[in-house]
């Protein structure tokens, strides 16, 4: 049986967090914790790791994409077994990934978002990075590709955690770690990270201000917050709260204007607040694929007017806002 707590990566995470405010977090990657979640597929998914073929990647690219190995690193039979395992963890939402010649065409072209934000953020080389709501860890690997010293991602969904584990099975030597938890598990004022990313999370929080304070508590003094979230047009102070669903999503609470987003950050004490990109989401970036064959963006838009959601609200628009953490108060 595969024991997550015995892997090289988990031991290294424990060592890195030892003696810090986050020391208690490393046990959330353990098999005991996974079973405590009572997800019906945990046993099946754990067993899959015992059956993965042993393949050594001849090369890895995390700087321009996430590519692990080449097609000729493995036999046809090994690649078929690997693809069968990968499809067991569907749906794949964040990517794309290239795994020994298997192209995992995910719902989101997450590389497009990465290309938009990368020119604006502080260089990640040598930094400790936290990615909140990281999904399967795609952006975590891109962060490491930019030279980050260590990247920790958190996302509570078990399927995304096992997608990460599939990749990490072949990348055990890398300091990328994903834990299947929410930010609520973090202790207050941990202050361990140089850069904190929160992308696609704020509008899912019933209390967005509390979320911003949580993000701030994870940053060292002068650390950088990278906040990416849905926005709507409107003046400072304006925020849209859907009556029920937004683009068929059930858990959307507040869609602020860009000015309101910046005001929230300033009210929380962040400095140097600036929005560096606003982009309307379209089907070139988010769509159904054979790796995510369910409803996607097009199903959430008005078929007669793509400028509106199917509920008659403004279609998705996303902003990237950067901010600097304030000096810590005693």
Beta pairing class for 271-280 and 317-324 = antiparallel
Question: Is position 86 within any domain?
Answer: yes
Question: Is position 59 within any domain?
Answer: yes
**pLDDT per residue as tens digits for the range 46-92:** 888 888 998 999 999 999 999 999 999 999 999 999 999 999 999 99
The reported pLDDT for the residue numbered 45 is 83
Question: Is position 329 within any domain?
Answer: no
Residues of the chain with pLDDT under 70: 1-7, 329-330
Binding annotation:
94, 108, 113, 133, 183-184, 199, 203, 318
Looking from the CA of 322 toward its CB, the CA atoms found within 13 Å total 15
Binding annotation for carboxy-S-adenosyl-L-methionine:
94, 108, 113, 133, 183-184, 199, 203, 318
Count structural domains, the chain: 1
ω into 275 cis (within 30 of 0): no
**CATH code for the domain in which residue 95 is found:** 3.40.50.150
Asked whether the beta carbons of 153 and 129 are under 8 A apart, the reply is no
The reported pLDDT for the residue numbered 7 is 66
Which residue from 69, 77, 113, 98 is spatially nearest to 230, judged by alpha carbons?
113
Question: Is position 199 within any domain?
Answer: yes
Question: Is position 330 within any domain?
Answer: no
Q: Which domain holds residue 146?
A: 4-324
């Amino acid at each position: 049986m595969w024991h997550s707590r015995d892997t090289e990566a988990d031991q290294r995470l424990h060592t890195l967090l030892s003696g810090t405010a986050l020391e208690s977090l490393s046990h959330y990657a353990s098999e005991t914790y996974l079973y405590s979640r009572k997800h019906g597929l945990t046993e099946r998914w754990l067993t899959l790791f015992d059956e993965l073929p042993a393949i050594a990647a001849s090369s890895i690219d995390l700087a321009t994409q996430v590519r692990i190995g080449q097609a000729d690193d493995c036999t046809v039979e090994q690649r078929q077994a690997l693809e069968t395992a990968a499809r067991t963890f569907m749906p794949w939402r964040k990517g794309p990934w290239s795994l020994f010649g298997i192209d995992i065409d995910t719902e989101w072209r997450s590389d497009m978002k990465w290309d938009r934000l990368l020119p604006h953020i502080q260089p990640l080389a040598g930094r400790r990075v936290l990615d909140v709501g990281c999904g399967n860890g795609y952006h975590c690997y891109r962060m490491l590709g930019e030279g980050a010293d260590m990247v920790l991602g958190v996302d509570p969904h078990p399927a995304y955690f096992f997608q990460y584990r599939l990749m990490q099975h072949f990348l055990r030597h890398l300091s990328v770690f994903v834990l299947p938890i929410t930010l609520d598990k973090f202790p207050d004022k941990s202050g361990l990270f140089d850069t904190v990313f929160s992308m696609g999370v704020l509008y899912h929080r019933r209390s967005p201000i509390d979320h911003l304070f949580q993000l701030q508590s994870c940053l060292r003094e002068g650390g950088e917050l990278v906040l990416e979230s849905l926005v709507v047009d409107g003046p400072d102070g304006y925020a849209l709260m859907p009556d029920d669903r937004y683009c068929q999503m059930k858990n959307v609470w507040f869609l602020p204007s860009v000015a309101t987003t910046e005001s929230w950050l300033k009210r929380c004490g962040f400095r140097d607040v600036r929005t560096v990109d606003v982009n309307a989401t379209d089907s070139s970036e988010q769509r159904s694929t054979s790796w995510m064959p369910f409803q996607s963006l097009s199903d959430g838009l008005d078929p007669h007017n793509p400028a509106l959601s199917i509920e008659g609200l403004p279609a998705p628009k996303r902003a990237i806002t950067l901010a600097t953490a304030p000096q810590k108060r005693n």
